[in-house]
């Protein structure tokens, strides 16, 4: 990945914290790996993101998990590939009563496997999982994310 693209993405990640749906929902990117293979997000419970039961609104819990696997793949696969979020499901296990965190990570081996599959098949939808946990490590929600990837020059036979 070239340096110009890295700098552009660093700027985007810094600005994402000011993206209105994140800013007003109390969602922040609090950490990321220098090579963008990992992101960590935080959702602080505020009156903006509280539901009628005074726990975290489910939509905010999902939003904090939305684009990050897609971001990792866009950065690491490069311009020859199209990457889109295709589907998601979230299982709410406990109410989010305070600050919660989610981490999204793909190893070099997982990214290489995505590239290998796409180079062989042309397109595929990959499923990744993440967990939302509170400050003490309790599991609040479990998310499955389907990410569609294809080569730009892929044509149906």
Tens digits of per-residue pLDDT, 118-135? 999 999 999 999 999 999
Q: Is residue 115 a part of any domain in this protein?
A: yes
- Straight-line distance from the first to the last Cα atom of the chain, in angstroms, rounded to the nearest whole number: 31
Answer yes or no: is 156 within a domain.
Answer: no
157 domain residue, yes or no? no
Domain that holds residue 123: 3-151
H-only helix segments in 17-121: 20-23, 58-63, 68-77, 108-121
pLDDT at 56 over 80: yes
What domain count does the chain have? Answer: 1
Tell me whether residue 15 is in a domain.
Answer: yes
Taking a C-beta distance cutoff of 8 angstroms, is the pair 147, 70 a contact? yes
Res. 43: pLDDT tops 80? yes
Give the pLDDT of residue 10.
81
Find out whether 13 and 32 touch, Cβ atoms under 8 Å. Answer: yes
Residue 67 lies in a domain: yes
Domain assignment of residue 111, yes or no = yes
Q: How many CA atoms lie within 13 A of 83 on its CB side?
A: 22
Q: What is the CATH number of the domain that holds 32?
A: 3.10.129.10
| 141 within some domain | yes
The percent of residues in the chain predicted with pLDDT above 90, rounded, is: 69
Instruction: Look at residue 155 in the predicted model and tell me its pLDDT.
Output: 78
For 10-34, the pLDDT digits (tens) are 888 888 989 888 888 899 999 999 8
Residue pair 85/66 in contact by the 8 Å Cβ criterion? yes
> Is the pLDDT confidence value at 80 over 80?
yes
Burial of 39 (0-12, 13-18, 19+ CB in 10 A): buried
- The order of strands in the sheet holding 27-32 is 27-32, 38-43, 100-105, 123-134, 139-151, 81-92
Inside any domain, residue 20: yes
């Amino acid at each position: 990945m070239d340096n110009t693209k890295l700098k552009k993405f660093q700027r985007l990640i810094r600005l994402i914290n000011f993206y209105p749906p994140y800013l007003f929902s109390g969602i922040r990117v609090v950490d990321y790996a220098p090579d963008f293979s990992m992101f960590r997000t935080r959702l602080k419970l505020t009156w903006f993101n509280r539901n009628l039961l005074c726990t975290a609104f489910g939509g905010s819990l999902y939003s904090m998990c939305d684009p990050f696997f897609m971001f990792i793949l866009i950065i690491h696969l490069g311009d020859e590939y199209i990457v889109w979020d295709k589907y998601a499901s979230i299982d709410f296990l406990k109410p989010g009563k305070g600050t919660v965190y989610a981490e999204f990570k793909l190893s070099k081996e997982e990214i290489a496997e995505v590239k290998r599959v796409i180079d062989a098949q042309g397109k595929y939808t990959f499923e990744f999982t993440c967990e939302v946990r509170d400050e003490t490590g309790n599991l609040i929600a479990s998310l499955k994310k389907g990410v569609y990837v294809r080569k730009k020059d892929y044509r149906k036979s």
